[in-house]
């Protein structure tokens, strides 16, 4: 020991005792959900590298499910331990918040991820190739279903189990995203969950070109929006001299009067604040799919493998709205008079465009994509309320909406013809006659999307509009209700198509799924109905979780 | 004790549930199950009655809240019961007469395949009617009100294979809707005025409400009463309702349900006392109906329709009394009870006659039946004497009091009302004597049973078509109820009047004032007796002294109008049906052109907009990026602009 000390003193050239560099103080226990998920992802990579191919599928599914369940358990433990209320604080040296909204959204993302894993693991919908079951993903970039390349790949034993660790990485990023408490963490989390999603989008086994095109578009536009976001971060740093939310908020509200020497010229310059704030907002609005940053949504939703679409549509929205809420409620409340009118406009355009363009869609996945745009508009109406009721209503809406979405996309995977999923709406005609149960389940999800009472969609929409109206946004509510009416048209049109049209002679058949997909769909229906019939407990839960730590 | 009140309703409700859901397994014993549960309800009623008698007069009100039904913010509706002297009276009448008629139906419906269902409906009716009179708030009363309407509909149309029965049921239902609408509006007005539906606060707070409000509520309640109790102008359904099985006519369309309007008005006395205009409307309706029903009753050859006209008329008396205020309430209820006895008895007698005559209802085909059916003759005769007000029998006491009270109204009004009531008594004597003579006296005018309408259909009776009927006395299950009801018809009135018992019993609830008649009570009684004799004599001169023609003569203009129920259906058809059709047609036109035009236009423009907007989604990543860039520029510009403004 003394020897080491002498070496040290030689190196530092200092006469007195060496100055200690303080290590960052990390509350590992409180970050457990993120750490568990990322740890499981790393283990998954190892599994992929070292386990024989035949054993990988089961190992990966088990590992993913266990990892997500453990992470969810730790979220629950943290919430029960009081971190959602009195012990809420900002952990990891100001980088990550552990508070009500963060835990609620992390819990939602984890549950959504868990259900999504079930749909990822489905291997019975397509006929087996060379006696081996295939799933929704391509084993090789150039492989066409049933083609030579696929035959060879299958014979060589190629598998697609890498989707599970990739999924876990995405979920890890999504857990950090709504909890990020400084702009750099926000950006890192954004990239951590975006990159795996780009990859997943490109993996569809059927309609390879569409899938690859979707991935490239998503990647290009995502990179474009990331650039805006990053530039906005830089401008905000220039404005405040810090990237932590609390620090920026202090400057915005005028609590800090002494600028650092390096930033004396720029600090407190409102132009930087406004332009930077708008750019960061834009980056987040891209992720939630708000107009006019929505154009990637239909193409990507259509091209991506349907299980991925379901996961992406549900979980990305949860994470991105969480980050948006935190940004607007923690960083920018001091300038709400600047951003509220702008967000009003965005919300109105989003609701109307989503609902109107959906009317003429003929592909069920594109239809659901536009529906998700309209729903982003409804949620924005709750975000704009700037009140605890607004936060809680958005939290509830996100939880309700994500399960409906997952369930709906899971049903889409079941309706198939010779070319794989039959997504063209004309092929769904008369589905209710041939497969009443599947059609009825899809009808439940559509009614929930439309916001019909006794479904979670109604409870969520009611909560959001109520908060918006109390927050003084009555015109927004009126436009929201009008858009809902337009939206109801195309949802119900699908129901009419399914139940009141003659089935086509060469129409699609409904594949019999394995229990994993059935469980996913059943969970979707159960959550939809329970949140619709008895929403009060969950509304209360969201209400208790609606306070941000600063 | 309070908990027994719930059981009162629950017993028949259970019966209805068991009988209607139980399926064919219960076909053999179902009728006894229904009768037993009705009897259970009656026994509970008697126990409660004994309990109430054991308490002092002002302390005879029991209340119980079973559960909170609709608690929404300031809106509060409970399922709660209130048992006081008024509802107790009804409970005994409903369960007592109800049990007897269940028993009677065991015999009457013995050969009907759907007998189990019939008893299920009867039990359902009992439950609903008990709910109606036991509810402690208007909203729950409304539930019972609709429940009896439903049961009435189901039972009128019980022989739904007959188009006439199905039509009659529909007619009763539709006409009742008009009245029910009145009740629902009255309840809404009560809620906006008093903020509650409970009897206590509503009736207690009536003094504080404005007279205009009370008049509106009162008129709406009167509309409701007119519908349910077949009063002018909503009386048209009762005659057709006789298409139902006779026990139904006796229980629902004579003794109990049709008197619900009287209950409603007496129960809501505080409201009417604060609204003299509404009270005037009530007495007018009562006086008009008592004459209307009596005149219709004179012209009908169908025995049940003649009795239906009489029911209308007698309820007119009750409504008239109820409209007179505290002077009349007690007598309205007293007449209601005595009427329940004798009218139910008369209907059961009519049913017994029909039973004996192969379901013949035309009195011109009866005659001379007294020797063939002695028990029916005696019980029917006692009911007849009671209804015309023969001294010492039930009807004498109750009707006489109403006529007195009508005169006591005072002024011109008193003379008009009293005169109408007196005239009604004369006509009652006339048409009831006519029924009596045509059915039981004179020569036999029996006709061969009509041949079956369709080949292969069940013959109406055991013997073949084309034979004369063989009248015989009804089985024991039918005669016993008739005898019991006849005893009630004879003694009830006297029992109520001795020592002023009924007035003392009801006074704590309804209040009572002695009327001050411009003519002495003795004069009124004497006048009543005089008109009675005139009515009976006229009828005898026409139907007793001369043989009754088998086919009805053409008759005078009034007779022909009265046969057509004084043209009520023609009026309804011309004014309401035609008018309604025109209204519907014009609404359909507006719907097709204006409403559909707006809707389709909106849909088309949204669709067009959608078609144009989706072109922006051209699939090129570069266009998407431009849109994002433009969006970002607008976002930034707008944010800056907001600060500048």
A185 within a domain of the structure (yes/no)? yes
Q: Among A87-101, A102-116, A270-284, name the most confident range.
A: A102-116
Residue B326 falls inside a structural domain:
yes
pLDDT of residue B585: 94
Nearest to B635 among A217, A281, A356 (CB): A281
Q: Are B353 and B495 in a shared domain?
A: yes
Average pLDDT over residues B79-84: 91
**From A291, A299, A357, residue closest to B610, measured CB to CB:** A357
Q: Kindly state whether residues B411 and B495 are assigned to the same domain.
A: yes
Which residue in B44, B46, B47, B57 sits closest to B84, CA to CA?
Answer: B57
If asked whether residues B590 and B512 sit together in one domain, one would say no
pLDDT of residue B462: 47
Q: Are B267 and B86 in contact (CB under 8 A)?
A: yes
How high is the pLDDT of residue A469? 93
The residue-averaged pLDDT of B249-261 equals 91
Return the minimum-mean-pLDDT range out of A271-275, A334-338, B156-160.
Answer: A334-338
Query: Within this chain, do residues B519 and B581 fall inside the same structural domain, yes or no?
Result: no
Residue B245: inside a domain, yes or no? no
Mean pLDDT of the B4-20 span: 92
The confidence score (pLDDT) of residue B467 equals 74
- Provide the pLDDT confidence category of residue B44 given band limits of 50, 70 and 90: very high
Q: Rounded to an integer, what distance in angstroms lies between the CA atom of residue A36 and that of residue A54? A: 26
Burial (0-12, 13-18, 19+ Cβ within 10 Å), A275: buried
Structure confidence by residue, pLDDT tens digits, A247-268: 888 888 877 766 566 666 667 6
Mutation site, A360, A376, A486, A490, interface B, largest B CB count within 10 A: A360
Has residue B337 been placed in a domain? yes
Q: Per-residue pLDDT averaged across B71-91, rounded?
A: 87
Let me know if residue A183 belongs to a domain. Answer: yes
**CA distances, B258 to each of A220, A271, B403, B581 (Å):** 80, 81, 21, 30
Q: B520 and B382 in one domain?
A: yes
Distance CA B354, CA A300 (A): 81
Secondary structure (H, E, C), A200-247: HHCCECCCHHHHHHHHHHHHHHHHHHHHHHHHHHHHHHHHHCCCEHHH
Same domain? B634 vs B502: no
Choose one of B523, B553, B583: the last residue of a domain.
B553
Backbone dihedral angles phi then psi of residue A297, each to the nearest 5 degrees:
-55, -55
Q: Write out chain A residues lying below 8 Å of B628, CB-based.
A: 221, 224-225, 282, 286, 292-293, 295
Residue A400 · residue A459 · CB < 8 Å: yes
Percent pLDDT > 70 in chain B is: 97
pLDDT tens, position by position, B609-645: 998 988 888 889 999 999 999 999 999 999 888 887 7
Whole-number Å distance between alpha carbons of B491 and B400: 16
Say yes or no: A369 contacts chain B, CB-CB below 8 A.
Answer: no
Q: Chain A residue closest to B642 (CA)?
A: A338
Q: Say if A349 is an interface residue toward chain B (CB within 8 Å).
A: no
Residues in Cβ contact with A244 at an 8 Å cutoff, skipping those fewer than 6 apart = A94, A181, A182, A183
Query: pLDDT tens digits, residue range A215-246?
Result: 999 999 999 999 999 999 999 998 888 899 98
The full DSSP string for B358-373 is TT--BGGG---GGGT-
Which residues, other chains included, contact B82 with Cβ-Cβ below 8 Å and sequence gap of 6+?
A: B61, B62, B63, B134, B135, B136, B199
Say how far apart CA B291 and CA B289 lie, in whole Å.
5
Task: Show which of residues 472-491 on chain A sit within 8 Å of chain B, judged by CB atoms.
Answer: 486, 489
**Closest among B230, B399, B228, B433 to B317, alpha carbons compared:** B399
Tokens for B75? 């809106």
Subunit contact A274:B614, Cβ cutoff 8 A: no
Instruction: Tell if the CB–CB gap between A279 and B610 is shorter than 8 Å.
Output: no
- Give domain status of residue B12, yes or no: no
A76-104 per-position pLDDT tens digit: 999 999 888 888 888 888 899 999 999 99
Residue of B nearest to A222 (CA): B625
**B302 in a structural domain:** yes
The answer, yes or no, to whether residue A348 has pLDDT greater than 90, is yes
Judge if B427 and B529 occupy the same domain. Answer: yes
A282 contacts B639? CB cut-off 8 A: no
The number of angstroms, rounded, from the C-alpha of B304 to the middle of its chain's C-alpha atoms is: 16
B533 with B635, same domain: the answer is no
pTM over 0.80: no
For residue range A359-392, list pLDDT tens digits in order. 999 999 999 999 999 999 999 999 998 888 999 9
Residue B499, φ and ψ in degrees, nearest 5 = 65, 15
Evaluate whether residue B426 is within a structural domain.
Answer: yes
User: A275 to chain B: which residues are within 8 Å by CB?
Assistant: 636, 639-640
Q: Which residues of B touch A353 (CB under 8 A)?
A: 613
Contact B635 A221 (CB under 8 A): no
Full residue range of the structural domain in which residue B288 is found = 278-451+467-553
Is B26 among the domain residues? no
Whether residue B66 has pLDDT greater than 90 = no
Q: Tell me which of B553, B585, B616 is where a domain ends.
A: B553
Please report whether residue A13 resides in a domain.
Answer: no
User: What mean pLDDT comes out for the span B571-579?
Assistant: 86
Q: How many CB pairs under 8 A join A and B?
A: 90
What are the φ/ψ torsions at residue A129 (nearest 5 degrees)?
-105, 125
Mean pLDDT, residues B85-91: 94
Residues B330, B292, single domain; the answer is yes
Q: What is the extent of the structural domain holding A278?
A: 26-544
**Average of per-residue pLDDT values in chain A:** 89
Residue B548: its pLDDT value, please? Answer: 83
Is the CB of A274 less than 8 angstroms away from the CB of B634?
A: no
Asked if B621 and A277 come within 8 Å (Cβ–Cβ), the reply is: no
Q: Is the pLDDT of residue A51 over 50?
A: yes
pLDDT-derived band at B461 (thresholds 50, 70, 90) equals very low
In this predicted structure, the answer to whether residue B90 has a pLDDT above a threshold of 70 is: yes
Selecting from A271, A292, A345 the residue whose C-beta is nearest the C-beta of B627 gives A292
Residues 308-337 of A with CB under 8 A from B: 337
Residue B453 has pLDDT above 70, yes or no: no
Total domains, chain A? 1
**Which one of A278, A295, A361 has the shortest CB-CB distance to B635?**
A278
The answer on pLDDT for A2 being more than 70 is no
Residue ranges of alpha helices (H) inside B230-328 are 237-240, 246-250, 260-267, 269-273, 276-299, 303-323
Residue A329 belongs to some domain of the structure: yes
**Could you read off the pLDDT of A286-337 as tens digits, one per residue?**
999 998 999 999 999 999 999 999 999 999 999 999 999 999 998 877 777 8
* Per-residue pLDDT tens digits for A385-421: 888 899 999 999 999 999 999 999 999 999 988 888 8
Cβ distance A221 to B610 less than 8 Å, yes or no, reads no
Distance from CA of A118 to the nearest CA of B (A): 31
d(CA A213, CA A219): 10
For residue A288, the distance in angstroms to the closest alpha carbon of chain B comes to 13
Q: Is B65 part of a structural domain of the chain?
A: no
Nearest to B613 among A220, A281, A356 (CB): A356
* B457 confidence band (pLDDT: 50, 70, 90): very low
Closest-CA residue of chain B to A228: B632
Are A342 and B643 within 8 A, CB to CB?
no
CA distances from B98 to B94, B238, B248, B383, B490 (A): 5, 19, 10, 18, 19
Higher pLDDT pick, B220 / B476: B220
Last residue of a domain, one of B553, B588, B611: B553
In which band, very low, low, confident or very high, does the pLDDT at A466 lie, cut at 50, 70 and 90?
Answer: very high
pLDDT of B455 reads 40
Residue A202 maps to a domain: yes
Q: Measured between beta carbons, which residues in chain B are less than 8 angstroms from residue A339? A: 639, 642
The encoded tokens of residue A505 equal: 């002679």
What number is the average pLDDT over the span B552-573?
84
- The 10s digit of each residue's pLDDT in A414-450 is 998 888 888 898 889 888 988 899 999 999 999 999 9
B414 and B445, same domain (yes or no)? yes
How high is the pLDDT of residue B454?
Answer: 41
DSSP-assigned states of every residue in B211-255: HHHHHHHHHHHHHHHHHHHT-TTS-THHHHGGGS-HHHHHIIIII
Considering the domain boundaries, does residue A17 fall inside one? Answer: no
Are B327 and B507 a contacting pair, CB within 8 Å? no
> pLDDT: is B411 or A10 the higher one?
B411
Instruction: Using the structure block, give the residue that is written with the tokens 């239906």.
Output: B308
Q: What pLDDT was estimated at residue A250?
A: 87
pLDDT tens digits, one per residue of A126-180:
888 877 888 888 877 777 777 788 888 877 777 789 999 999 999 999 999 999 9
**Residue B513 confidence (pLDDT):** 87
Specify which of B83-97, B357-371, B400-414, B444-458 reaches the highest per-range mean pLDDT.
B83-97
Distances, alpha carbon B215 to alpha carbons A378, A441, B272, B277, B278, in Å? 49, 54, 7, 7, 5
Candidates B607, B609, B638; nearest CB to A342: B638
In a domain, residue A8? The reply is no
B76 pairs with which residues across the strands?
A: B71
Q: Which of B466, B476, B332 is nearest to B405 (CA)?
A: B332
Q: How many domains does chain B have?
A: 2
CB contact under 8 A, B606 and A286: no
For residue B617, what is the nearest residue in chain A, using CA coordinates? A295
Q: Do B642 and A270 touch (CB under 8 A)?
A: no
**Which of A342, A346, A357 is facing B613, going by the closest CB pair?**
A357
Contact A278 B613 (CB under 8 A): no
Q: Which CA distances in Å does B499 have to A370, B329, B494, B505? A: 84, 18, 10, 11
Burial (CB count <10 Å: 0-12, 13-18, 19+), residue A15: exposed
Instruction: Judge if B300 and B337 occupy the same domain.
Output: yes
Question: Predicted confidence band at B465 (pLDDT cuts at 50, 70, 90)?
Answer: low
CA distance B638 to chain A (A): 6
Same domain, B318 and B366: yes
- Torsion, CA B98, CA B102, CA B104, CA B109, rounded to 10: 140
- Cα separation, A328 vs A375, in Å, equals 19
Stated length of chain A: 550
Cβ contact A275–B636 (<8 Å): yes
Q: Is the pLDDT of residue A125 over 90?
A: no
As a whole number, mean pLDDT of residues B535-558 equals 87
Structure-token pair, residue B184:
């629902």
Q: What is the ipTM of this complex?
A: 0.90
Of B623, B631, B638, the CB nearest to A293: B631
Confidence of residue B545 (pLDDT cuts 50, 70, 90): confident
Q: How confident is the model at residue B304 (pLDDT cuts 50, 70, 90)?
A: very high
Q: Is B426's pLDDT higher than 70?
A: yes
Asked whether B81 and B135 are in contact (CB, 8 A), the reply is: yes
């Amino acid at each position: 020991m003394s020897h080491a000390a002498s070496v040290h003193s030689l190196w530092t050239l200092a006469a007195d005792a060496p100055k200690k560099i303080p290590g960052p103080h990390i509350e590992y226990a409180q970050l457990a959900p993120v750490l568990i998920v990322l740890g499981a992802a790393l283990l998954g990579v190892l599994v992929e590298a070292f386990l024989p191919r035949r054993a990988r599928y089961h190992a990966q599914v088990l590992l993913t499910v266990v990892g997500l369940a453990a992470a969810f358990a730790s979220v629950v433990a943290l919430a029960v331990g009081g971190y959602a209320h009195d012990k809420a604080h900002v952990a990891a040296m100001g980088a990550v918040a552990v508070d009500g909204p963060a835990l609620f959204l992390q819990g939602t993302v984890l549950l959504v991820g868990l259900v999504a894993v079930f749909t990822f693991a489905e291997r019975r919908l397509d006929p087996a190739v060379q006696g081996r079951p295939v799933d929704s993903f391509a084993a090789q970039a150039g492989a066409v279903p049933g083609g030579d390349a696929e035959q060879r790949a299958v014979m060589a034993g190629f598998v697609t189990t890498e989707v599970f660790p990739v999924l876990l990485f995405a979920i890890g990023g999504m857990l950090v995203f709504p909890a990020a408490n400084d702009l750099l963490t926000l950006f890192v989390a954004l990239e951590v969950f975006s990159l795996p999603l780009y990859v997943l989008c490109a993996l569809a086994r059927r309609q390879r070109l569409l899938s690859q095109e979707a991935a490239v578009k998503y990647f290009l536009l995502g990179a474009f929006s990331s650039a805006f976001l990053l530039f906005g971060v830089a401008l905000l740093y220039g404005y405040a001299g810090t990237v932590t939310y609390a620090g920026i908020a202090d400057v915005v509200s005028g609590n800090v009067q002494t600028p650092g020497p390096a930033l004396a010229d720029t600090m407190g310059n409102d132009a930087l604040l406004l332009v930077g704030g708008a750019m960061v907002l834009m980056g987040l609005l891209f992720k939630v799919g708000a107009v006019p940053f929505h154009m990637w949504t239909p193409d990507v939703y259509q091209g991506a493998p349907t299980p991925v679409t379901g996961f992406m549509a549900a979980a990305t929205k949860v994470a991105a709205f969480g980050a948006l809420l935190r940004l607007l409620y923690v960083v920018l409340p001091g300038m709400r008079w600047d951003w509220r009118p702008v967000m009003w406009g965005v919300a109105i355009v989003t609701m109307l465009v989503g609902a109107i363009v959906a009317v003429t869609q003929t592909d069920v996945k594109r239809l659901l994509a536009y529906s998700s745009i309209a729903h982003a508009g409804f949620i924005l109406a709750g975000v704009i309320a700037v009140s605890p009721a607004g936060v809680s209503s958005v939290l509830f809406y996100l939880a309700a909406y994500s399960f409906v979405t997952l369930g709906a996309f899971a049903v889409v995977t079941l309706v198939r013809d010779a070319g794989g999923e039959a997504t063209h709406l004309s092929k769904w005609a008369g589905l209710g006659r041939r497969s009443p149960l599947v059609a009825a389940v899809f009808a439940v999800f559509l009614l929930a999307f439309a916001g019909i009472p006794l479904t979670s969609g109604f409870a969520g929409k009611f909560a959001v509009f109520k908060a918006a109206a109390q927050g003084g946004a009555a015109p927004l509510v009126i436009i929201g209700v009008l858009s809902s009416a337009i939206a109801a048209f195309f949802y119900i049109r699908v129901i009419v198509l399914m139940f009141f049209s003659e089935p086509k002679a060469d129409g699609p058949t409904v594949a019999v799924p394995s229990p994993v997909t059935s469980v996913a769909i059943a969970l979707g229906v159960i959550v939809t109905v329970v949140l619709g019939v008895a929403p009060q407990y969950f509304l209360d839960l969201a209400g208790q979780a609606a306070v941000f730590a600063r | 004790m309070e908990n027994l009140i719930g059981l009162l309703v629950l017993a028949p409700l259970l019966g209805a549930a068991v009988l209607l859901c139980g399926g064919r397994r219960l076909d053999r014993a179902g009728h006894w199950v229904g009768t037993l549960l009705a009897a259970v309800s009656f026994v509970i009623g008697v126990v409660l009655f004994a309990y109430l008698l054991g308490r002092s007069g002002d302390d005879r009100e029991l209340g119980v809240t079973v559960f909170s039904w609709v608690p929404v913010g300031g809106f509060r509706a409970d399922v709660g019961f209130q048992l006081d002297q008024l509802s107790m009276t009804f409970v005994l009448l409903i369960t007592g007469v109800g049990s007897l008629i269940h028993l009677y139906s065991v015999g009457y419906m013995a050969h009907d395949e759907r007998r189990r269902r019939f008893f299920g409906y009867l039990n359902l009716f009992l439950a609903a009617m008990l709910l109606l009179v036991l509810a402690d708030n208007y909203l729950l009363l409304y539930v019972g009100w609709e429940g009896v309407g439903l049961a009435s509909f189901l039972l009128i149309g019980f022989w739904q294979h007959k188009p006439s029965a199905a039509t009659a049921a529909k007619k009763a239902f539709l006409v009742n809707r008009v009245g029910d609408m009145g009740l629902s509006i009255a309840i809404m007005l009560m809620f906006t005025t008093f903020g509650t539906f409970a009897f206590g606060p509503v009736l207690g707070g009536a003094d504080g409400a404005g007279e205009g409000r009370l008049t509106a509520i009162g008129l709406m309640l009167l509309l409701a009463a007119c519908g349910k109790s077949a009063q002018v102008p909503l009386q048209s359904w009762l005659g057709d309702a006789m298409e139902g099985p006779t026990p139904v006519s006796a229980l629902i369309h004579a003794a109990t349900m049709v008197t619900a309007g009287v209950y409603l008005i007496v129960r809501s006395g505080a409201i009417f006392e604060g609204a003299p205009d509404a009270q005037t409307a009530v007495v007018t309706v009562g006086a008009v109906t008592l004459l209307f029903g009596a005149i219709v009753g004179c012209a009908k050859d169908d025995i049940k329709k003649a009795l239906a006209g009489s029911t209308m008329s007698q309820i007119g008396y009750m409504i008239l009394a109820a409209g007179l205020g505290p002077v009349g309430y007690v007598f309205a209820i007293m007449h209601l009870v005595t009427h329940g006895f004798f009218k139910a008895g008369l209907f059961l007698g009519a049913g017994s006659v029909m039973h004996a005559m192969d379901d013949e209802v035309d009195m011109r085909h009866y005659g001379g039946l007294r020797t063939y059916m002695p028990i029916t003759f005696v019980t029917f005769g006692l009911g007849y004497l009671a209804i015309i007000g023969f001294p010492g029998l039930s009807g004498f006491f109750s009707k006489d009091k109403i006529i007195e009270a009508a005169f006591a109204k005072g002024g011109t009004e008193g003379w008009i009302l009293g005169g109408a009531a007196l005239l009604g008594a004369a006509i009652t004597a006339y048409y009831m004597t006519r029924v009596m003579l045509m059915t039981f006296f004179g020569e036999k005018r029996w006709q061969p049973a009509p041949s079956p309408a369709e080949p292969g259909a069940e013959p109406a009776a055991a013997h073949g078509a084309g034979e004369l009927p063989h009248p015989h006395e009804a089985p024991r299950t039918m005669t016993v109820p008739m005898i019991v009801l006849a005893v009630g018809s004879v003694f009830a009135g006297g029992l109520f009047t001795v020592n002023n018992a009924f007035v003392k019993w009801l006074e704590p609830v309804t209040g009572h004032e002695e009327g001050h008649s411009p003519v002495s009570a003795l004069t009124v009684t004497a006048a009543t007796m005089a008109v009675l004799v005139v009515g009976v004599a006229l009828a005898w001169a026409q139907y007793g002294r001369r043989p009754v023609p088998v086919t009805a003569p053409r008759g005078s203009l009034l007779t022909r109008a009265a046969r057509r129920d004084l043209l009520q259906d023609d009026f309804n058809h011309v004014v309401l049906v035609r008018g309604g059709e025109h209204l519907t047609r014009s609404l359909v036109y507006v719907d097709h052109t204006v409403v559909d035009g707006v809707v389709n236009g909106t849909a088309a423009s949204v669709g067009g907009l959608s078609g144009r907007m989706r072109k922006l989604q051209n699939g090129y990543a570069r266009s998407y990026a431009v849109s994002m860039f433009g969006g970002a520029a607008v976002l930034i510009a707008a944010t800056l602009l907001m600060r500048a403004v």
